[in-house]
Structure 1
Amino acid sequence: MVFALYDSQGREIGRVKEQSIGPIAPGEIWQIRSTTPQPFERFSAIEIKAE
């Protein structure tokens, strides 16, 4: 999963990437944590791939 990070003006200021380590069961909620060295106001998932 790739997330775009946005500042308070709505400008994209960076991207972070995170992935699941194992399979996700049907109906399971995927909780992820990704770190960034910069502050941001909001984020949006922009790329999701499943294999």
Structure 2
Amino acid sequence: MNLNDIHNDLNTNEIFLLMLYSGYLTIKKDVVDNVFSIRIPNKEIISLFHNTFI
């Protein structure tokens, strides 16, 4: 399985939820009406995102 397989099977919201529930993203604060500010939790994950997506 690779990133293309995941992208083809999931929509954008599902990808964000998967990353949130698995700890790759964390909720920074509840803004309003189920709209959240999210963040990448640590340097290792930031490096992973940078190497994978950028």
Could you state the TM-score of these two structures normalised by the residue count of structure 1? 0.28
- Structure number with higher helix proportion: 2
Structure number with greater CO (CA < 8 Å, separation at least 6) is 1
Could you state the TM-score of these two structures normalised by the residue count of structure 2? 0.27
- Structure number with higher strand proportion: 1
